[in-house]
Structure 1
Amino acid sequence: MKRYWKWAIAISIAVPVLLLVFLLATGERGLSSGKRSKPRTSFEPRDVATYQVTGPEAERLGWSADRLAAMLDYLSRLSADAFVIVTDGEIVASLGPLDTVYNVHSVRKAMLNAVVGQHVGDAPDELPLDATLEQLGIDDEPDPLTPLQRQATVLHLVRSMSGINHPAAAEGGLTADKDKRLGHDENQPGSVWAYNNWDYNALTTILEEQTGQSVAEAFKSGIADPLGFQDFSEESVSRSVELDLSQHPAAAFRLSARDLARFGQLYLDGGVVDGKAVLPATWIDRISNDYVDTGMPGLRGGHGYLWWIPDAETGLPEGSFFGWGLGQQAVFVVPVWDTVIVHQSDTTEFIKRWLNLQREGVDGDTALEQIVVECLQKGGPAIEFCREHRFTSRREFDGLISLIADARLSD
């Protein structure tokens, strides 16, 4: 039974990464290309509950009611399962049930930012940002780190700048961009940025060894409980360890939209909950003040302390940041608008279909292509799976962000 659960957890994390490999290869990268797309889709609205505030209330909160309605109509044609805009602590618009938990995939890095930020310090049970991997006793197996690589610091890991190109748990085949940026030789720590699961997993190990708590325990006691999460328990966090690649684990989260909104609100409120500091404001400020220019346009224009920084072409104002995961899982923090935006889509049926095709003898890449192309073809909108469970494409998500930005009244 234990072997089964280890396999199931590994599949739940690794399979979506393999899906993303295909989406990257076909141009559907799930994130903005940097151009404001004209929203369009051939799908009809789904039978899904939506809500928006009335006209006067929308205007009071800085939104156009008519344009919010257009945004929700468009959203209902995508495969979103839960969505909410919260401004000044009030729900402006929503879609679907907000209490259902979904795998948030790589939004997990934003969760890691929170628990790391709570434990930064020089005490024995804290994380010293300037400590090197060597000083903390961090290495790897079966591929050991070199002496130079062990000079990378905790801060380098947080900023995705260790320069270490090692295999990592929950990484799958998503290595092309990392290999391109880092190469296979040594890099001086801090000299090059790369979206690097090895950094995040090693950071997980350091957090757990320094604090004596698992990520699940640290997040529940430090974040979920103070924020009043309604749909979270320690079982909401699973671990993937692939010892043939690395000794460092990946921690995956399942969260509801309403709890994700509370999480985003923590950052919007400067880390304060009910008058008590839960997360240092200085730590939150680092996200938008100390980010790295990734060289990628659009939503991925910058990356700061495990959050993405969108550029101005997306329509989101300066100072915005967001956590993103496969299937367009996202939590946006938009301080200029005093707004949190959450978007979730259940990837379960997509993954089931992919695995079933392989059991029928179709190889993995062909199965992925078959599923994606089927929904993009002319008859796709008539297929129930495509209406309800397909992946929202990069272009569709661009359109959604564009409509959200257009629905905001001038500040």
Structure 2
Amino acid sequence: MPRHTAWILPLAILTSAAVFLLVMAGGDAAYALRVLGHQDSSITDVEWKQRTSVRAAAAPRPWPATGGCPIRQSLPTRNAQSIVVVHDGRLVCEWYGTGGAPGRPAAAFSVSKTLVSLLVSQAVADGSISGLDLPITQAVPELRARDPRFDAITLGDLIDMRSGIAFSENTSFPWLNRDYPSVYYASDLAKTVVQRPEIAGAPGPFTYNDYAPNLVGLAYQRLTGTSLTRGPLQRLWDDLGAEHPAAWCVDGHGFPYHESGLVVTARDLARVGQLMLDDGKVDGRQVAPRAFLDRSLDPANREPVTTFAGISVGYRNGWWVLPRGDGGRDLAAMGAHGQIMVVSPSTRTVIVRMGDDEQTNIQIAATLQRLADQL
């Protein structure tokens, strides 16, 4: 090949690769750049993602505290930013490192799903949504036009990850057309969750699924006329007496990433866990509906659905269900990179750990369970 034309082949290869990747991205160049530039998710993604803000409560309720921390030497601090331990409604221990601080919110990732479930339950309680047995197609009829089998999927199926919708967490080449990045890096998430999900089978079997909470969020928005991460989340923050502002990551259209968008302090996240121990009440006011508590804590449908590192866990109403050595069960909200909240009804303890990966989520959760048993 003459020297003056040697650049043609490399250019053709690069052009073909770029066209291929753009086709895989559905023609969305901005989405392709986010996936290729950031690749796997990170706790620092909140620095570049757009967010809606949530103010601290108008009347903050500082945690009652006790002196000293009896389990300080056992705290899993490696790579953690914050650890908060609440026992019998009192803050008995907190630790901060690697940039963490009491008032510094951090990405909660899939802990967001628990908040989505709670906020939807409030809308059901006040009549804004008729119930969790509502078919998703009543709010999102476009799904029926794509596949009539969507008619069989209810809001409850989606919240429990039993919708029958296929989902893969595979992020291998060619990256851009995979389920996980198509949600996490979406330019228009509402459009994505209407057009992309496919039915794998009838509702019933468990499949952890990031399409599901976003379909719930889209249904919420259409049925109530508001995003659950705006007025409803602010009301929850006020009801809880949250001490610090929070945020929720949104796409370029302002639609929340319902599966992963919550940005919150460990102190204020622990208030959500405390609701489960206080019959859903704050200062005698019912904040978490009784139905939410019953559906989360009732033994029905809490059988193991999957196994992590040899530990069999269930999933119900936005909570993971963890086995205890005494035959009981604890609840856990778990997000990528080690964002964990364990709620232990038998020990009346809530422990929140936020930061970066140290072990797998289930290993961290098991450690927090053992710490609760020491109190």
Distance 1:316 1:71 in 2: 21
- For 1:301, the aligned partner's letter is V
What does residue 370 of structure 2 align with?
405
How many residues in Structure 1 have an aligned counterpart in Structure 2?
293
- For 2:242, the aligned partner's letter is F
Pairwise CA distance, 1:165: 2.0
Q: Does the alignment pair 1:221 with 2:234?
A: yes
**Compared CA separation, residues 102 and 399, structure 1 to 2 (3 A):** closer
- Aligned-pair identity in percent equals 23
Query: What does 1:49-60 correspond to in 2, within 5 Å?
Result: 53-54=67-68
**Compared CA separation, residues 146 and 184, structure 1 to 2 (3 A):** closer
Pairwise CA distance, 1:394: 2.1
- For 2:92, the aligned partner's letter is V
**Compared CA separation, residues 305 and 406, structure 1 to 2 (3 A):** closer
Q: Residue 111 of structure 2 is aligned with which of 85, 107, 110?
A: 107
Distance 2:312 2:373 in 1: 22
Map Cα deviations across residues 281-334 of structure 1 (whole Å, 9 max, x no partner): 23112123233521314666110111111123xx58723101111111111111
What does residue 259 of structure 1 align with?
268
Query: What does 1:5-24 correspond to in 2, within 5 Å?
Result: 18=41
What does residue 285 of structure 2 align with?
276
Pairwise CA distance, 1:262: 1.3
Answer yes or no: is the 8 Å Cα contact 2:102–2:267 preserved in 1.
yes
**Compared CA separation, residues 215 and 187, structure 1 to 2 (3 A):** same
Higher CA-based Rg? 2
> Where does structure 1 differ by over 6 angstroms across 4 or more consecutive aligned residues?
none
What does residue 187 of structure 1 align with?
201
Q: Does the alignment pair 1:240 with 2:251?
A: yes
Answer yes or no: is the 8 Å Cα contact 1:17–1:170 preserved in 2.
no
Of structures 1 and 2, the one scoring higher in RCO (CA 8 A, sep 6+) is 1
Gaps of 5+ in 1: 1-5, 21-50, 59-64, 174-182, 243-247, 348-390
Map Cα deviations across residues 266-291 of structure 1 (whole Å, 9 max, x no partner): 22212111111111123112123233
Q: Does the alignment pair 1:392 with 2:348?
A: no
Query: What does 1:8-157 correspond to in 2, within 5 Å?
Result: 18=41, 53-54=67-68, 65=70, 68-72=71-75, 75-76=76-77, 78-96=78-96, 97-120=101-124, 123=127, 125-140=128-143, 145-157=146-158
Map Cα deviations across residues 375-410 of structure 1 (whole Å, 9 max, x no partner): xxxxxxxxxxxxxxxx21229x72674375167349
**Compared CA separation, residues 319 and 274, structure 1 to 2 (3 A):** same
Distance 1:259 1:196 in 2: 26
**Residue aligned with 1:296, SS:** strand
- For 2:322, the aligned partner's letter is P
**Compared CA separation, residues 408 and 52, structure 1 to 2 (3 A):** farther
What does residue 311 of structure 1 align with?
323
Answer yes or no: is the 8 Å Cα contact 1:291–1:305 preserved in 2.
no
- For 1:250, the aligned partner's letter is Y
Map Cα deviations across residues 146-196 of structure 1 (whole Å, 9 max, x no partner): 1012321111111111102264753579xxxxxxxxx976412x2211001
Map Cα deviations across residues 47-101 of structure 1 (whole Å, 9 max, x no partner): xxxx9844xxx7xxxxxx3xx14303xx33x111100110012122221122211
Bigger fraction of residues in strand: 2
Distance 2:212 2:319 in 1: 14
**Residue aligned with 1:70, SS:** helix
**Residue aligned with 2:208, SS:** coil
Q: Residue 295 of structure 2 is aligned with which of 286, 294, 298?
A: 286
What does residue 341 of structure 2 align with?
331
**Compared CA separation, residues 316 and 322, structure 1 to 2 (3 A):** farther
Pairwise CA distance, 1:139: 2.9
Pairwise CA distance, 1:202: 0.2
Q: Does the alignment pair 1:321 with 2:348?
A: no
Answer yes or no: is the 8 Å Cα contact 2:129–2:223 preserved in 1.
yes
Distance 2:280 2:318 in 1: 16
What does residue 356 of structure 1 align with?
none
Distance 1:400 1:152 in 2: 31
Distance 1:230 1:121 in 2: 26
Question: Please, what TM-score do these two structures have when normalized by structure 1?
Answer: 0.62
Answer yes or no: is the 8 Å Cα contact 1:126–1:210 preserved in 2.
yes
What does residue 301 of structure 1 align with?
313
**Compared CA separation, residues 406 and 185, structure 1 to 2 (3 A):** closer
Distance 2:234 2:42 in 1: 33
Distance 2:233 2:311 in 1: 29
Pairwise CA distance, 1:113: 1.2
